[in-house]
Homo-oligomer: A and B are copies of this chain.
Amino acid sequence: MDLATVIGLAIALILVIGGIIAGGEPGAFVDFQSLLLTGGGTFGAVIMSSTMAQIKLLPKITGKSFFANPPDLVGLVQTLVSFAEKARREGLLALEEDAAQLDDVFISKSIQLVVDGTDPELVKAILDTEIGLLEERHADGKKMFDAMAELAPAFGMLGTLVGLIMMLRNLDDPDALGPGMAVALITTFYGSFIANVFAIPISKKLATRTKEEILSRELVVEGVLAIQAGENPRIVEEKLKVFLPPKLRESLDEEKKGGGAQEGEEAE
């Protein structure tokens, strides 16, 4: 669960909708036809911009920005270091079973490649292509929210223009001017709401998530290649630790004592 997305959205929704309710006439902000024109029109234009395959992934991608957990980098380092130790003791083939039990498809596939005796260069090429593809697919997902953020205010303005043109043609009754403009402005409100409370923050969150995931996979590739090269588990750990931000390095060191003493020995 991504608390930041949930809490942030709750704050934004409560404050905007609270402001509307405090105004005393929340009903004035509910207009089904305006919502259809702004939201539906935006959605239609986003579909046009994408492929059907991408559109089908939209609910999953949206869910991800709410429910995905950040990758457990410390856990990944520990797993890979324990694999490095086992591989040194019992050989690479001993990792086959452990790899099959992992939840993470990417790391288990990576280990399997190594266990299969694939050439290190090919392992790296295949995993790098996997990461590249993942990045491209994530970028495609983010693009849909970027299109939404760009098009929702535009369709909101389109709706307001429609409302204004209809209203201005019938200006006989000056008392109708105000309410007419109020209705016309609702689509602009919807467009701005969709873009700023939803599409822009989700797009930014997806960018953050992609960056984290790419980093965690690069960590796995570095680790798996070090294991295949039969490197000392302590060196493996040092190599992987540079991928962690300072705080996580500390928490890794806390969970595992005795590493500092060995560090001095290695230097000699």
Residues of A at under 8 Å CB distance from B?
2-5, 7-13, 15-16, 18-20, 22-25, 28-29, 33, 36-37, 40-41, 43-55, 70, 115-118, 126, 129-130, 133, 137, 140, 143, 147, 150-151, 154-155, 157-159, 161-172, 175, 177-179, 181-182, 185-186, 188-189, 192-193, 195-197, 200-202, 204-205, 208, 212, 242, 245, 247, 263-264, 266-268
| Beta-carbon contact of A165 and B193 below 8 Å | no
Out of B12, B16, B51, B170, which one reaches A162, CB within 8 Å?
A: B16
| Beta-carbon contact of A166 and B25 below 8 Å | yes
| Beta-carbon contact of B197 and A45 below 8 Å | yes
Out of B186, B200, B208, which one reaches A150, CB within 8 Å?
A: B200
Known contacts A29-B165, A159-B19, A204 near B12 by CB under 8 Å: no
Distance between Cα atoms of A254 and B172 in the complex (Å): 69
| Beta-carbon contact of A117 and B182 below 8 Å | no
Distance between Cα atoms of A36 and B17 in the complex (Å): 12
- Residues from chain B with Cβ under 8 Å of A4 in the complex: 47-48, 50-52, 55
Return A137 CB to nearest CB of chain B, in Å: 7
Return A199 CB to nearest CB of chain B, in Å: 11
Return A189 CB to nearest CB of chain B, in Å: 4
Out of B47, B53, B193, which one reaches A8, CB within 8 Å?
A: B47
Out of B37, B115, B189, which one reaches A161, CB within 8 Å?
A: B189
Supply 12 further A-B pairs (C-beta < 8 A) apart from A129-B242, A154-B192, A164-B182: A4-B52, A7-B44, A11-B40, A19-B33, A41-B197, A50-B204, A116-B264, A116-B267, A162-B189, A165-B185, A168-B182, A169-B182
- Residues from chain B with Cβ under 8 Å of A33 in the complex: 19, 22
- Residues from chain B with Cβ under 8 Å of A193 in the complex: 158
Known contacts A4-B55, A151-B200, A48 near B245 by CB under 8 Å: no
| Beta-carbon contact of A162 and B15 below 8 Å | no
